[in-house]
Amino acid sequence: MPVQQALRHLEAGYARFFQRLGRKPRFKSRRDRQSATFMKTAFRWREGQLTLALMKQPLAIRWSRALPSAPSSVTISRDAAGRWHVAFRVEVEPEPAPEPLRPAIGIDLGLMTLAVTSDGESVANPRWLRQRQHRLRRAQRALARKRKGSNNREKARRAVARLHARVADARRDHHHKLSTQWIRENQAIHVETLSVRGLARTRLARSLHDAAWGLLLAMLRYKAAWYGRDLVAIDRFFPSTRACSCCGGVGPKRALHVRTWTCDACGVTHDRDVNASQNILAAGHAVRAGSDPRRWPVEGMLDAPGLTRSATPVRQELAA
């Protein structure tokens, strides 16, 4: 059964690739996460106990929560740290979406702070990898001293993998809670499209991977579909940091260490990240209204819900 299911996964992967819905399936190493899926005819589920095909005794499982209904398929997986997990596919009734607290919110992602919203809320960057960097270096040095192929080297490799797994678990848990909060509280979420792959080639690569912007955006994408929310992506070349959210004037590029700046046109002093998130919010309103956000500011967008205007907006064409 697992071999048959692996072939089905391969067929589905190539079908998505040829339909341009995803990337080409890549080779999965034995050291990567391994999994096997069992359909309903290949396992037995009785009184909360799971027994796989060709097994006489049920699996010893430490449950995270009770199943709402009988499973239709079971996936057994093992990660690089040697931990085993069981995932059940069950049918559940969708939860009704809660009433949003705000009509829309703009989000500016960063590294010094993980995110800043258009209403001024700042989300700190926990820097999960940096917190465990000392332990990781010590474990990696111990791994380098072990002879290849020995049992001690395998133990050291698993110790390194366990540390990485704890970092990934903490990061994933944080992003799940944050994305769920944003989705439940807002009818529309406006974010920038980011070239994470391109930015990962810079000296900020480690910090970028630690922040995991792509993971956070992916969670927002599928949770927005679940709850019936609108996720609006703003073009990455939109000058959210350079434009003034009050008058629309577009200034020069500024170094990353410049956290506040004053608009030459209207004299308003801005926090760099809050101003960018407010510009993203306004540009998202423009996209939803069918306007071109490159014409900044779009007439009437500065009067949209969630934005305050302290100066008369001036229409200004952005340089191509």
Contact 70, 35 (CB under 8 A): no
Residue 136 token pair: 């990781």
79 and 107 part of one domain: no
206 within domain boundaries: yes
11 is catalytic: no
CA 83 to chain centre: 23
Catalytic residue among 119, 173, 192, 264: 192
Q: Per-residue pLDDT tens for 215-267?
A: 999 999 999 998 899 999 888 888 888 888 888 888 888 888 888 888 888 88
Catalogue the E-assigned strands of 152-224: 186-192
266 within domain boundaries: no
Q: Mapping DSSP to helix (H, G, I), strand (E, B) and coil, where does residue 240 land? A: coil
Catalytic residue among 185, 235, 273, 299: 273
22 and 138 part of one domain: no
163 and 221 part of one domain: yes
300 within domain boundaries: no
15 and 81 part of one domain: yes
Which of 200, 234, 268 terminates a domain? The answer is: 234
110 and 80 part of one domain: no
116 and 173 part of one domain: yes
116 and 153 part of one domain: yes
316 within domain boundaries: no
Find where tokens 């899926």 sit: 37
111 and 70 part of one domain: no
Q: Per-residue pLDDT tens for 4-52?
A: 778 888 899 999 999 988 889 888 777 777 888 888 888 988 877 889 9
pTM of the full predicted structure? 0.81
Give residue 137's domain range.
Answer: 102-234
273 is catalytic: yes
Find where tokens 């599928």 sit: 222
Number of domains in the chain: 2
Catalytic residue among 99, 108, 185, 235: 108
Contact 51, 58 (CB under 8 A): yes
108 is catalytic: yes
